[in-house]
Amino acid sequence: MQIILRQFGDCNIRRAEPSDLIPVMEINLKTLPEHYSDYFYESLLAEIPEAFIIAEIGEKHVGYIMCKTEYGFSNFKKLGFVKKGHVVSIAVLDEYRKKGIGKALVEESVNGVKLKNCDEFYLEVRCSNNDAVRLYEKLGFMIRQQLNAYYRDGEDAYLMAIELN
């Protein structure tokens, strides 16, 4: 059953289903240099469907966010061991950017990882990716670390995180 999380204009934001994975992979191929195996997409959808969310306009998939959960050291508290949501990947097709779809995807994934009782939510982003860094900062994520040569091409990442209550 499709669960529509929000609608604005002609855009629906809803949880992904198995039949959405091929269109999600196609958006990923068009928009990002980091790609994953089919199995990885399937495993994220199976693990945390609450935070695997797509944006759709009519029948067309225009954006997605997908996440996982982990246990690990807090990005905020010294010596704290916490449950963390982790944004694996988010993208919106170029022609559909700057309409609020990215913000809606992140906000709905925050709700999704809260349903899984995560204490924190984090992601890595290229230091040069101003559009994405600005989006995350507006939504309350803070730069907590710079990860040296995190990407295959040698670029650094910012680790950005937010505390959830």
Buried b / exposed e over 80-97, threshold 16 CB at 10 Å, is eebebbbbbbbbbbeebe
Cα–Cα distance for residue pair 42/128, rounded to 1 Å: 30
- Spatial CB neighbours of 7, under 8 Å, sequence gap ≥ 6: 13
Residue 97 binding ligand ACO, by CB under 6 A: yes
Q: How far is CA 43 from the centre of its chain?
A: 15
Cα–Cα distance for residue pair 98/120, rounded to 1 Å: 26
Query: Which residues inside 76-135 make contact with Zn ion, applying CB under 5 A?
Result: 124
Residue 152 binding ligand ACO, by CB under 6 A: no
Q: How far is CA 160 from the centre of its chain?
A: 12
Count of residues interacting with Zn ion (CB under 5 A): 1
Considering the complex, state which of residue 58 and residue 79 has its C-beta at the smaller distance from ligand ACO: 58
Residue 113 binding ligand ACO, by CB under 6 A: no
Residue 44 binding ligand ACO, by CB under 6 A: no
Residue nearest to ligand ACO (CB): 102
> Shortest gap between Cβ of 122 and ligand ACO (angstroms)?
9
Interface segment toward ligand ACO; rule CB under 6 A; list 15-23, 76-84, 107-115, 128-136: 128-136
By CB under 6 A, name the binding residues for ligand ACO. 31-32, 87, 89-92, 97-103, 123, 125, 129, 131-132, 134-135, 138
